[in-house]
Amino acid sequence: MGVFSIAHQHNLLLVWTRRFNKPASISRVGSQFASHHVSATLLCPEDSSINPVVKRQRRVLNTSSVQHKRVASDGWQKHDRSVQSKTWKSEIPVLQRPYQRKGGDSRVSSELRRLSLDDFPEEKERMVGQRSTLDSKAENYEVVFGIAPCLLALTQGRRQARRLFVKDGEASHRASVIQVCEEAHGRGVQVQRVSKKDLDKMSWGRVHQGVCLQASPLGYLTEDRDSAPNRGDAPLWLVLERIQDPMNLGAILRSAYFLGVDRVLSSLRHSCPLSPVVSKASSGIMEVIGVYGYENLEDMLRSKVAQGWQVVGTVGAEAEEETQIPVTQCSDFQMTKPTVLLMGGEGEGLSQQLLSLCQTLLTIPAGRELFPGIESLNVSVATGILLHSLLTSRRSTR
């Protein structure tokens, strides 16, 4: 009995020892496998359909080997992900990618990219040059953005186009984007695919519609560059004084072109430049219609009055009793001879110097009683209404 008791106790001790050690080993393997499965799912989503329970059952059979492999695998994954993230952030996509996979992820590891470029030194030199091209001569170029501004900038030929940047991805397959790319290619302008983040930086976060054009800037025209003859009946010129909001200027140019204004003029001082923002706000009309700039609008207006032109200004309804100049509602005015319409800037309106040269002041009647502080219209809206009224009266008096 004593011998059997000692042997029996020894066996019980072995059984309890195995039961005590085995769950800890299994739980450790299970936790490591769970971590590995989450990492594998993120890195290789195509393998996420595999049942993790089956994997766990297979790996529990060989505990030591699984533990060793998991530690090495986790370390490789963390290192690889950090390398890939740094590589992807520093990449600048280009138009031609001979090593890009079709229909899948276009990201390429730094090792593969380096080997590909080492095999083609000319391609490597070209890519390095492209990365610094946008900043190398930034003082001589600006970035036009948007479908219509880029297309009209290419077709009108008033700018010197240097490079067209197109958003990489499905957006480049739109018919409008393809048309811009074809125009650029036909004129020898290089086309380069870039990311949306790059286009956002080029366009200062504004709506670029997937295209940006690096081109020479546009400026105001001068009188000696005028080669267009006046209309035979009664031309209409639009004079803008101190328009400072580029969105307003763009909207005014769009209305003036659509309605048939013969010329647009602007003061150079205290006026916004003809920037890409103005071009986008005008839907590209700034690329078509020339805007003449004047240091002194008074001298130009006096010369037009001496030639028999009438100068028409604008005034709000509340200022009708404060002026000695005749005030007429725009719907009652008849345009029978060459006319210059003056529009003042936001807030202050026309200066006293230009108001003194006006022969008639036009006003837009309100359709209801207005609350104090909102008695006026936006300058671009008021310009559209007045231009439509004047040009309609010109057609009716022919």
pLDDT band at 386 (very low <50, low <70, confident <90, very high): very high
- CA–CA gap between residue 295 and residue 288 (Å, rounded): 23
pLDDT > 90? residue 49: no
At 321 the pLDDT is 64
Q: What is the DSSP letter of 369?
A: P
At 224 the pLDDT is 58
pLDDT in tens, 345-359: 988 889 999 999 999
DSSP 78-143: HHHHHHHHHHHHH----S--TTPPTTS-----HHHHHHHHHH-HHHHHHHHHHHHHHHHTGGG-EE
At 232 the pLDDT is 61
What's the chain's length in residues? 398
Amino acid at the residue 342: L
Q: Give SS3 for 2.
A: helix
pLDDT band at 181 (very low <50, low <70, confident <90, very high): very high
> Residue 253's CB: how many other CB atoms inside 10 A?
29
> Residue 294's CB: how many other CB atoms inside 10 A?
20
Positive or negative CA dihedral for 362, 366, 371, 373?
negative
pLDDT > 80? residue 88: no
At 162 the pLDDT is 96
At 10 the pLDDT is 56
* Phi, psi of 128, deg, nearest 5: -65, -40
In which residue ranges of the chain is CATH 3.30.1330.30 found? 142-215
pLDDT, average across residues 270-293 = 97
Q: Are strands 211-215 and 190-194 parallel, antiparallel or unpaired?
A: unpaired
pLDDT > 70? residue 268: yes
User: Is 3.40.1280.10 the CATH classification of the domain at 236-366+375-394?
Assistant: yes
Please classify residue 300 by burial: count the beta carbons closer than 10 Å to its beta carbon, then call 0-12 exposed, 13-18 middle and 19+ buried.
middle
- CA–CA gap between residue 167 and residue 186 (Å, rounded): 19
Q: Which residue has the tokens 């067209």?
A: 164
Q: Give SS3 for 258.
A: helix
For residue 385, which of 355, 365, 370, 357 has the smallest C-alpha distance? 365
Q: Which residue has the tokens 């060459």?
A: 338
Contact 245, 272 (CB under 8 A): yes
CATH tag for 142-215 (out of 3.30.1330.30, 3.30.1340.30, 1.20.1630.10, 3.40.50.300): 3.30.1330.30
pLDDT > 70? residue 259: yes
Contact 208, 200 (CB under 8 A): yes
pTM for this structure? 0.66
pLDDT band at 7 (very low <50, low <70, confident <90, very high): low
pLDDT in tens, 135-176: 545 568 999 999 999 999 999 999 999 999 999 987 678 999
Q: Give SS3 for 43.
A: helix
Contact 219, 164 (CB under 8 A): no
CB contact set of 56 (below 8 Å; sequence gap of 6+): 29, 30, 33
pLDDT band at 331 (very low <50, low <70, confident <90, very high): very high
- CA–CA gap between residue 91 and residue 379 (Å, rounded): 45
Q: Which of 53-67, 236-250, 380-394 has the lowest mean pLDDT?
A: 53-67
Q: Give SS3 for 208.
A: coil
Q: Which of 121-125, 214-218, 242-246, 292-296 has the lowest mean pLDDT?
A: 121-125
What is the tally of helices (H) and strands (E) in the chain?
A: 13, 11
Label each residue of 306-357 as H, E or C. HCCCEEEEECCHHHHHHCCCCEEEHHHCCCCCCEEEEECECCCECCHHHHCC
Strand partners, 263: 237
Mean pLDDT for the chain overall: 75
In which residue ranges of the chain is CATH 3.40.1280.10 found? 236-366+375-394
